[in-house]
Amino acid sequence: MCLEHSLALSYFIYGLKLNVNVEIPGLNPDKTVHENPDIEIILGSIPKEILKAASQPEDLYYSDQGLSGQGDTASGQPSLVVNTIANGEYFHFRYQAGVDFICDKRARQIWGKWDSCLEIKDVVAYLLSPILGFCLRLRGITCLHASGVEVNGTAIALSGPSGVGKSTLAAAFAAAGHRVLSDDVIPLKLVGDEFYAVAGYPHIRLYPNSFKNLEGIPNELPELMSDWDKCYLDLTTTSYEFRQGSSPLKVIYLLDWNTESGKGKIEICQMAPGAAVSLLAANTYRNELLDSGMKRKEFLFLCQLAKSIPVKKIRPVDDINEVPNLLEAIISDSKQM
């Protein structure tokens, strides 16, 4: 795990300019190195002075015990522990899988190291969503836990908790010829009085049983990381389109699987702004890692968002064969606004 420290490769992801010391598997670097990057990333080592600080007692910031409250089901240990070190100057992410990341509180630098049994692709899977997602939040950028697609020049956000079908639906949009903005994380920016959805990177993460037999999606896709059942759809191939940059946000759909779902009829209903804010807050990315000040700023941003952008609940039919109909229902509904 002794990698070069020269920040010779650059990427543009989530609206951030990144300089990195190692190629990120599956992504094409920019042609020129950024002179003033937003974040510098070194994978493979952590500076001695920061390791020394990390060897001292750390202050617990967050511990992920999982849905059961019992941590990782095999070991009983938390799947993730986040501590602050050096009097709060840095955040230390310790994943039970054997991956460590440290970032400074201004989200200007990230270092990562990992167990020798892991591959770089395993590490990158943590970097691209959880770690960069947290850095976006440190920078004051509100992010929806959502997939984003572009229809007729404007962005549609498909939001909801993990496992609700956001990525499957985004893949269906891609297969139907629509451009995909992002999967899992959508940074939002306000320009004047208009909200924009910012692009992520050209992959859609999928569970194997979530896309089998969907038209336009191969039945076999490359694995995302070792010993994990997720795989990914590469949007840089000639079959699909990835929307770089940003796109005006038109509508947010909250996928709502409740007791009424799955009864043979897709239902879409618009929410009042006041009711929408609480559900949006529950579906922002990495909201469990926000401190009280960050939560207050997010709440004000979401209030403005809910007043400006329609937020709708959508109740799908519990049948993967109904995904094309769900896609058409969303397109038809969005055209009416």
CATH number of 143-335: 3.40.50
Give me the count of residues in the chain: 337
Which residue has tokens 């572009």?
150
Q: What is the DSSP string of 226-238?
A: TT-S-EEEETTST
E strands in the chain: 9-13, 16-20, 39-43, 59-64, 80-85, 90-95, 99-104, 109-114, 143-151, 154-159, 179-182, 185-191, 194-198, 203-206, 231-234, 241-242, 246-255, 267-270, 311-315
Query: Using the 8-state DSSP alphabet, how is residue 284 labeled?
Result: B
Number of H helices, E strands in the chain: 7, 19
Q: List CB contacts of 27: < 8 A, sequence separation 6 or more.
A: 11, 13, 201, 202
pLDDT tops 50 at residue 73 = no
Measured from the Cβ of residue 197, the count of other Cβ atoms closer than 10 Å reads 28
Average pLDDT over residues 131-136: 98
Element (H, E) at 333: helix 323-335
Q: If 0-12 CB within 10 Å is exposed, 13-18 middle and 19+ buried, where does residue 35 land?
A: exposed
Identify the bridge partners of residue 284 per DSSP, sorted by sequence position: 144
Give the angle subtended at the CA of 43 by the CAs of 42 and 46, to the nearest 5°: 70
Whole-number Å distance between alpha carbons of 33 and 195: 29
Span(s) in the chain for CATH 3.40.50:
143-335
Q: What is the pLDDT of residue 211?
A: 82
Q: What is the pLDDT of residue 2?
A: 45
Helix (H, G, I), strand (E, B) or coil at 264: coil
Instruction: Indicate the residue type of 25.
Output: P
Which residue has tokens 């952590």?
46
Residue 263 has which token pair?
Answer: 């009864």
What is the tens place of the pLDDT at every residue in 26-49?
889 998 888 999 999 999 989 989
> Which of 194, 196, 223 has its CA nearest to residue 208?
223
pLDDT tops 90 at residue 162 = no
Q: What is the pLDDT of residue 332?
A: 95
Q: What is the pLDDT of residue 68?
A: 33
Which residue has tokens 């490359």?
222
Q: What is the pLDDT of residue 337?
A: 83
**What's the whole-model pTM score?**
0.91
> Which of 54, 79, 56 has its CA nearest to residue 66?
79
What is the tens place of the pLDDT at every residue in 244-291?
999 999 999 999 876 554 467 889 999 999 999 999 999 999 999 999
